[in-house]
Structure 1
Amino acid sequence: MTDWSRLTLLDGPATAPIDLDTAKRHLRIYHDDEDEHIQLLLDAVTAFVEGPNGIGLALTPQKWRLSLDSFYSRNLINGFSPAYGYGAAYLDVGAIYSAISIPLGPTTSVEQVSYTDDTGAMHIVPADQYVVDIESTPARISPLYGGMWPITINYLGAVKVDFTAGFASTPADLKAALLLLLGHWFENRENVVAGERAVAVEVPFTVETILNKYRVGRFA
Structure 2
Amino acid sequence: MKLERISGPEGVFLTREQIKAHLRVLHDDEDELIDALGDTAMAHIDGIRGVLGRCIQPQEWRLTYEDGFSGGCIRLPFPGVGDAAAVWRDEAGDPQEAEIRRMDCGIWTEVIVTAPPGRAVEITFTASTPEDVWPAIRTAMLLLIGHWYRNREAVAVDARFDTLPFAVRSLLSPLKVHWV
1:171 aligns with 2:134: yes
Equivalent-residue separation in structure 1 for 2:56 and 2:159 (angstroms): 35
Task: Name the aligned partner's letter for residue 114 of structure 1.
Answer: V
- Identify the residue that residue 130 of structure 1 maps to in structure 2: 100
Gaps of 5+ in 1: 73-93, 144-148
Q: Is the 8 A contact 2:5 2:61 kept in 1?
A: yes
Q: CA deviation at 1:168?
A: 6.5
**How far apart in 2 are the matches of 1:134 and 1:25?**
40
Larger CA deviation: 161-170 vs 175-184: 161-170
Measured after TM superposition, the shift of residue 107 of structure 1 is 1.5
In the superposition, the TM-score normalised over structure 1's length comes to: 0.69
Equivalent residue for 1:151? 116
- Tell me the equivalent position of 2:170: 209
CA 187–71 in structure 1, closer or farther in 2 if over 3 Å, else same: farther
**Which amino acid in 2 is paired with 1:139?**
T
Q: Which runs of 4+ in 1 moved over 6 A?
A: none
Unaligned runs of 5+ in 2: none
User: Kindly, what percent of the aligned residue pairs are identical?
Assistant: 30
Q: Distance in 1 between matches of 2:75 and 2:153?
A: 39
Q: 1:107 aligns with which of 57, 78, 81?
A: 81
The equivalent of 1:46 in structure 2 is 42
How many residues end up aligned between the 2 structures?
Answer: 176
CA deviation after TM superposition for structure 1 residue 201, in Å: 5.5
Give the drift of 1:17. 1.7
CA RMSD of aligned residues (A): 2.5
Distance 2:41 2:177 in 1: 18
| Cα shift readout 1:161-195 (whole Å, capped 9, x = no counterpart) | 1111124736211111111111111111112223x
Per-residue CA deviation, residues 76-126 of structure 1 (Å, 9 max, x unaligned), is xxxxxxxxxxxxxxxxxx3xxxx321112322211x301235x46444335
TM-score, normalised with respect to structure 2: 0.83
